Amino acid sequence: MRKLALCCGLAVLAGAAFFVGQAEGWRFMASWPTPGPDPRGYCGDFVSYIVQGGVSPYVYEGYWPTGSILSSFPAPGGRGAWGLCRASGYGMYLSNNRTSWIYHINSTGSVYSSFECPVDGPADMERRRYTGVQYYLHVAIPDRNLIAVVNENTGSLVATMPGPGSEPTGCGGEPPEFFVTDSGTHAVYERGIVVVSGIMTPVGFDYTALTDGWVDNIFVVDDATDRIYFYWNDTALAPASLGRVKALFR
């Protein structure tokens, strides 16, 4: 066990504010199958990357509404691959839940660098900018019911936040909105309030945001059904976002 106990008391970058407030309404729009069984982390929107778990995990790039697979590569680190989020340029971060390592990779799977997550058992994650050019990773830690905030440059633990449920598996969003998927409660939380329920085993999450910062679309991966579920915000929808939704399902 690493030095988690020394860091749990940190004030978490106003983290308490992530889990309070009133959530917006979300409407289910569609779902589509993952490339195979045991899906895990997800990043992107309709053209996106997803981790396919198992003994020999792969990362797939595809256009999931049609099932078109554009490319794929073996997940660095092997068995236990889970979390996935964008890095700078065309890079990505990939976490391994079994070994606790996080890899900075390119779109073909080559490893730029890696570090051990300061909290054991990382699941899906997101990358967010705070001040200036400083970015942190938010990493869901299912076994500890925590969201770890990790410095992407040093791999050090900046802060921790308690999960809103019991087993967080993914997270993301733009302040003041913050989303957490939870396999223990089969739900998606927005600012601590359940906005989507009945997803048996949510294991991956991503979102898109408007230019004013409002999250307009969310994507949730369900390991129980091997599907990606797509929802849009029907209370703060901008015309441009509505046009994108209509074009997809026209």
CA proximity to 94, closest of 71, 67, 60, 134: 60
pLDDT at 195: 94
Q: Is residue 4 part of a domain?
A: no
Q: Is residue 3 part of a domain?
A: no
pLDDT at 238: 46
Q: Look at the chain and report how many structural domains it folds into.
A: 1
Span 156-160, average pLDDT:
95
pLDDT at 77: 97
- Taking the CA atoms of the chain, what radius of gyration do you get in angstroms? 17
Q: Is residue 20 part of a domain?
A: yes
Query: What are the structure tokens assigned to 86, written together?
Result: 């964008």
Cβ neighbours, 10 Å, residue 44: 19
DSSP label of 24: P
Whole domain around residue 193: which residue ranges?
15-249
- Give the pairing type, strands 187-190 and 179-182: antiparallel
Span 4-25, average pLDDT:
42
Q: What is the CATH number of the domain that holds 198?
A: 2.120.10.30
Beta carbons within 8 Å of 105's beta carbon, 6+ residues apart: 76, 91, 92, 93, 94, 111, 112
Would the pLDDT of 128 be above 70?
Answer: yes
Tell me the pTM.
0.85
- Tell me if 168 sits within 8 A of 141, measured CB to CB: yes
Q: Model confidence over 46-102: pLDDT tens digits?
A: 899 999 999 999 999 999 888 899 999 999 999 999 999 999 877 999 999 999 999
Q: Is residue 122 part of a domain?
A: yes
Q: Is residue 197 part of a domain?
A: yes
